[in-house]
């Protein structure tokens, strides 16, 4: 009999199943009534627990009906059986489309068999995960065997340059695939490698690298492409060296060099389960593993692994808070990932010395840890029990609809199905058991991986609690103020009372109110310690109001005194920072470790972090990619602002960092846009109609990003340039002209930057400096860019070119752009005419953007006479006027080094150079300070005098006249 909890769902879905079955040629009633009662109940149970099986069963009914009546449906799945099925399904397959169809039918059939045994508890957890992993292995290995001859028929066999031997593609299975631990709806993480560089034997000779890129692309399509028959495995290549920006395939020498010189801690963690899937027993596979093993396992006992795993877990915890993933059985507290971290911590720490720990299967490692005494046997048994329960829950969730999710369902029917699948009486009983297992995992994780020195929050002094409650009587208030003097004390206490009695606070649910009560005494103590208490409180309360409905952040602050202290100090120092965090409260996670907050990473570390953030997101989940990149940029802008307002770093370091941040981000935007365009339209082609696998595309930065002077709210002045072969078309079914491909890619990049997500936009991108401005193409060809600059550009556009530099793109195209820029800037110009045009443009800007003050009572720091733009125009004039004699003036783009170059060339007196540099830095420092205090750049005369800008303004005006108005000086 079907369990009562499933009856109503069966009754609702049976008519749809019967209808689909009959359309597929299956006489359902005849078949079903012919089954034994045992088989009827089993079939009803599986079909009710899995919508995927209910849809797949009729589509392969001939095989599956025979499997049920003959009993083979209950048999364990293995590689031999999978290969036998594929031989049948692929019989007569000649084209790639034929092969794609056969693979997808194999996957559907195998999944039904696997879910059948899993749902009816005929299979252990490890049997299910191994069967799924074997399915992936068969699909990968057999696909390479099918696809390689197709390429060899055109290009010949790839041969090693040194050895002269035929080369083969080696596929490394990473993560759960490598450990034989795939789940029902897993993607597969792969890395492609081949032993040796060289060329193919012809007839159409290409390099081994090109051959294996083509083969890799075909393999990905065979597995990942969505067709009318579905897909086989979502395929993720982001774990390869250099991530998304790296080549799809690398030879052994390049792989060895990468991991020796650039391999990161998280990549060690990923490599623990690495397994060569193709040619597993070959000498080449062993050679590749010999390259990877020393990187993964240190020869010494490596306790630094704990810290690396803590950092990775902290990133995941932050993501759990941001995305509300507490009900995620993989990433949430006490989830699958914590069990994996525990096990792999010991492997990374001791695996270099104890070779028996260098294995991939998690459960086997737990047994070794117990046998060797590294963990008590009771602990490992608890962890195994929890791991099996969590993995079974994951399979129950995914078998519902074949969706790649680990989130507990909220729909009552789905909850009932999960409970039955997990052999629990009802959802409440299941949740009770699940929470027991998660609690056990969290306990062991905290004991093993988490910090030992975490302390409970100190009990707040009762006086601060009384202050929060408004319960200080007159005497207590007098004593309190003697110990804690505060300017504007009365207004501060009034503001506290107003907040406490406000509707958002009084309407809080009990648990939220308790969390606020726990936080406020400590928060008020920190606020009171600031010199500007009243101002600080006014900045902090909007933040509190913003998180009253997301009380996890209240807990974060109350349980992390260091984070609370940093928050109050930053809000005290800058109204901009306070507002920035208020708009994006998830930035509170950045305050947890002050050492990290005040250390700005270099560009390679930025690239690594961004890669890691995106690695946890599905490759086709554009919305989450955009959101994660916005969170990344906001987090690092906050770190820069923290360093600046706390005087940890000078202005130029801050600007350099903000510029590096933009470069890193836009490089990733370009990579993602190119991948998405390729997925839709195929690769652009060259003059020989061969695919071009890396974008022939440049992002050129102008203005502040070109001049390495970005601030917190700067937009990005960009120009997009491509060098696609004219007349070529992309390789996809929906083919596009190369030029159209790159234009749409540019549009996609702008969309990626400008779309408003929960965290706002990424950057405001300004493309008006492109050839012909707003009326021009969004992406210009290199030829069109050169022709425009030579024949149509205005002088002000050549001024802008002074600060232009490539921030992302191919090295070959970058060199071509730099040659064009050099040619344009070094052209000889009529000096009087140049002076007149520069002066005219500068006057137009003053008229439109300046203070309009004729009495000298105001000074716009940027636009008025003697301000920032005067210095910039003066420098640009110098470069345009004399680069034909001094081409070295075109080698840099920032104003400080350009002033040095003008001086070194003998064009500017050293004293004048020093004056302009000091003035420029002091002006820029003041613009930053005002930005962080949300103040205007329009200074009143008393502020101008107080800052010493009267003299500086006069110096700039004097030098402006000397260079650009010599007839008046």
Domain shared by 158 and 243, yes or no: yes
Q: What share of the chain is helix, strand, coil (3-state, %, to 5)?
A: 65, 5, 30
What are the distances in angstroms from CA 281 to CA 168, 265, 288, 355, 917?
A: 13, 28, 11, 19, 65
Six-digit token string for 861: 């720091």
Q: Burial, 146: exposed, middle or buried (Cβ in 10 Å; 0-12, 13-18, 19+)?
A: buried
Same domain, 709 and 768: yes
Torsion 239-242-247-253 (CA) sign: negative
Q: How many domains does the chain have?
A: 5
* Residues 309 and 292 both lie in one domain: no
Domain's final residue, options 825, 849, 882: 825
CATH number where 696 lies: 3.30.460.10
The model carries a pTM of 0.67
Based on the fold, state whether residues 660 and 780 are members of the same structural domain: yes
pLDDT of 469 reads 86
Would you state the pLDDT for residue 948? 87
Q: Are residues 422 and 474 in the same domain?
A: no
pLDDT recorded at residue 461: 54
Ramachandran region of residue 883, left (φ > 0), alpha (ψ -120 to 50) or beta? alpha
Alpha carbons 222 and 682: distance in angstroms, whole number: 14
Cα separation values, 270 from 191, 364, 947, Å = 11, 18, 54
Task: Give the dihedral sign, CA 928/553/567/662.
Answer: negative
d(CA 959, CA 871): 9
Residues 95 and 235 reside in one and the same domain: yes
Any domain includes 336: yes
- Domain membership of residue 59 (yes or no) is no
Helix locations, 185-238, DSSP H: 208-224
- Under DSSP, the state recorded for 189 is E
SS (H, E, C) 566-611: HHHHHHHHCHHHHHHHHHCHHHHHHHCCHHHHCCCCCHHHHHHHHH
Q: What is the domain extent for residue 239? A: 75-296
Task: Answer whether residue 54 is part of any domain.
Answer: no
**Beta strand pairing status for 275-276 and 249-251?**
unpaired
CATH number of the domain where residue 851 is located: 1.20.120.330
Q: Which residues of the chain have pLDDT under 70?
A: 1, 299-313, 315-316, 318-319, 321-323, 449-461, 854, 968-969
- 806/853 same-domain check: no
Q: What is the dihedral of CA 366, 369, 372, 378, to 10 degrees?
A: -80
pLDDT of residue 322: 63
Cα distance between residue 685 and residue 667, in whole Å: 22
Residue 447 has what pLDDT?
Answer: 79
Are 282 and 346 in the same domain? no
Distance spanning both ends of the chain, measured CA to CA? 103
Q: How far, CA to CA in Å, does 873 sit from each of 95, 482, 529, 870, 878?
A: 63, 57, 46, 5, 9
Q: Are residues 113 and 197 in the same domain?
A: yes
Q: What is the CATH number of the domain that holds 505?
A: 1.20.120.1510
Q: Among 163, 390, 388, 137, which residue's Cα sits nearest to residue 280?
A: 137
């Amino acid at each position: 009999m079907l369990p009562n909890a499933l009856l109503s769902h069966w009754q609702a879905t049976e008519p749809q199943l019967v209808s689909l079955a009959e359309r597929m040629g299956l006489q359902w009633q005849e078949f079903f009534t012919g089954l034994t009662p045992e088989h009827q109940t089993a079939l009803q149970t599986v079909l009710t627990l899995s919508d995927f099986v209910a849809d797949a069963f009729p589509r392969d009914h001939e095989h599956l009906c025979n499997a049920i009546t003959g009993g083979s449906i209950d048999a364990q799945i293995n590689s031999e059986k999978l290969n036998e099925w594929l031989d049948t399904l692929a019989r007569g397959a000649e084209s790639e489309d034929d092969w794609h169809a056969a693979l997808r039918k194999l996957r559907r059939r195998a999944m039904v068999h696997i879910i059948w045994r899993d749902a009816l508890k005929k299979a252990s957890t490890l049997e299910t995960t191994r069967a799924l992993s074997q399915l992936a292995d068969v699909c990968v290995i057999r696909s390479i065997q099918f696809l390689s001859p197709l390429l060899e028929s055109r290009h010949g066999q790839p041969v090693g340059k040194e050895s002269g031997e035929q080369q083969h593609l080696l596929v490394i299975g990473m993560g759960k695939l490598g450990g034989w631990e795939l789940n029902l709806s897993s993607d597969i993480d792969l890395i492609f490698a081949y032993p040796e560089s060289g060329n193919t034997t012809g007839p159409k000779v290409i390099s081994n690298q090109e051959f294996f890129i083509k083969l890799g692309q075909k393999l990905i399509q065979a597995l990942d492409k969505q067709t009318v028959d579905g897909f086989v495995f979502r395929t993720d290549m982001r774990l390869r060296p250099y991530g998304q920006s790296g080549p799809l395939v690398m030879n052994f020498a390049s792989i060895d060099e990468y991991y020796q010189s650039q391999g990161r801690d998280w990549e060690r963690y990923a490599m623990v389960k690495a397994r060569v899937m193709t040619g597993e027993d070959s000498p080449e596979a062993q050679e590749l593993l010999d390259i990877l093993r020393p990187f993964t396992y240190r020869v010494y006992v490596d306790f630094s692994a704990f810290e690396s795993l803590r950092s990775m877990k902290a990133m995941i915890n932050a993501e759990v808070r941001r995305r509300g993933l507490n009900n995620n059985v993989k990433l949430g507290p006490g989830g699958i990932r914590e069990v994996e971290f525990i096990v792999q911590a010991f492997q990374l720490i001791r695996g270099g010395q104890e070779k028996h720990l260098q294995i991939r299967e998690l459960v086997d490692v737990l047994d070794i840890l117990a046998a060797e005494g590294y963990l008590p046997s009771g602990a490992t048994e608890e962890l195994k029990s929890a791991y099996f329960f969590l993995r079974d829950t994951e399979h129950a969730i995914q078998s519902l609809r074949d969706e790649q999710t680990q989130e507990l369902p909220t729909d009552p029917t789905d909850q009932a199905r999960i409970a039955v699948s997990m052999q629990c009486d009802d959802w409440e009983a299941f949740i009770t058991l699940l929470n027991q297992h998660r609690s056990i995992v969290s306990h062991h994780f905290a004991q093993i991986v988490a910090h030992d020195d975490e302390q409970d929050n100190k009990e707040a002094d009762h006086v601060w609690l009384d202050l929060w409650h408004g319960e200080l009587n007159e005497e207590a208030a007098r004593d309190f103020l003697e110990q804690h003097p505060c300017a504007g004390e009365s207004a501060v206490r009034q503001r506290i009372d107003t907040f406490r009695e406000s509707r958002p606070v009084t309407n809080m649910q009990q648990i939220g109110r308790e969390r606020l009560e726990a936080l406020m005494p400590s928060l008020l103590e920190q606020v009171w310690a600031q010199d500007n208490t009243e101002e600080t409180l006014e900045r902090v309360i909007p933040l509190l109001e913003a998180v009253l409905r997301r009380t996890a952040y209240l807990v974060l602050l109350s349980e992390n005194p260091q984070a609370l202290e940093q928050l109050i100090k930053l809000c005290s120092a800058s109204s901009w920072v306070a507002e920035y965090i208020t708009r994006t409260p998830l930035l509170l996670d950045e305050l947890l470790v002050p050492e990290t907050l005040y250390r700005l990473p270099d560009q390679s570390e930025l690239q690594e972090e961004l890669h890691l953030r995106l690695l946890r997101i599905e490759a086709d989940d554009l919305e989450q990619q955009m959101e994660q990149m916005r969170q990344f940029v906001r987090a690092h802008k906050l770190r820069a602002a923290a360093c600046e307002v706390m005087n940890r770093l000078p202005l130029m370091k801050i600007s350099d960092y903000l510029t590096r941040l933009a470069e890193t981000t836009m490089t990733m935007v370009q990579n993602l846009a190119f991948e998405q365009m390729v997925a839709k339209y195929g690769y652009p082609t060259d003059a020989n109609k061969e695919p071009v696998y890396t974008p022939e595309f440049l992002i050129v930065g102008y203005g502040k990003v070109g001049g390495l002077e970005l601030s917190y709210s700067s937009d990005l002045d960009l120009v997009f340039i491509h060098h696609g072969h004219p007349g070529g078309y992309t390789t996809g079914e929906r083919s596009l002209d190369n030029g159209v491909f790159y234009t749409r890619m540019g549009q996609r990049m702008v969309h990626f930057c400008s779309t408003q997500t929960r965290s706002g936009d990424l950057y405001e991108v300004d493309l008006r400096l492109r050839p012909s401005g707003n009326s021009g193409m969004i992406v210009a060809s290199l030829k069109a860019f050169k022709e425009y600059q030579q024949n149509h550009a205005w002088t002000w556009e050549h001024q802008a070119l002074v600060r232009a530099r490539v921030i992302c793109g191919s090295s070959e195209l970058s060199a071509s752009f730099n040659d064009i820029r050099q040619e344009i800037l070094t052209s000889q110009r009529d000096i009087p005419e140049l002076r007149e045009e520069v002066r005219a443009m500068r006057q137009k800007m003053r008229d439109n953007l300046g203070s309009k003050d004729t009495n000298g009572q105001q000074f716009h720091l940027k636009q008025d006479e003697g301000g920032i733009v005067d210095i910039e125009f003066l420098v640009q004039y110098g470069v345009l006027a004399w680069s034909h004699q001094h081409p070295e003036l075109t080698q840099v783009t920032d104003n400080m080094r350009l002033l040095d170059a003008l001086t070194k060339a003998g064009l500017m007196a050293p004293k004048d150079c020093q004056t302009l540099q000091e003035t420029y830095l002091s002006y820029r420092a003041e613009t930053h300070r005002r930005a962080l205090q949300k103040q205007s750049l329009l200074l009143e005369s008393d502020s101008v005098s107080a800052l010493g800008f009267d003299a500086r303004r006069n110096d700039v005006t004097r030098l402006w006249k000397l260079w650009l108005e010599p007839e008046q000086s």
